[in-house]
Amino acid sequence: MESLTDGFAEYQELVGRALENDGRTGDKQAALTDYRKATDLLQGQCPDVGDAVVLRG
């Protein structure tokens, strides 16, 4: 579960940076890059979340 919370914290950080960059003039590419990293991280964590819930039941 610790790796799950670490992953979620990283996801939140990436989304926060994406939102900050999106609000800045000329940082749309940086925002998109951070958003994609966050999405990839979340998609990679989802199977782990399901396994953790089933195993801990």
Angle 28-56/2-23 helices, nearest 10 degrees?
160
Question: What confidence score (pLDDT) does residue 47 get?
Answer: 57
| CB burial of residue 14 (10 Å; 0-12, 13-18, 19+) | buried
- pLDDT for residue 20: 93
Residue 37 has pLDDT above 80, yes or no: yes
Q: What percent of the chain has pLDDT over 90?
A: 28
Per-residue pLDDT band for 31 (boundaries 50, 70, 90) equals: very high
Q: What's the chain's average pLDDT?
A: 78
Largest CA distance in the chain: 47
Supply the pLDDT for residue 30.
Answer: 92
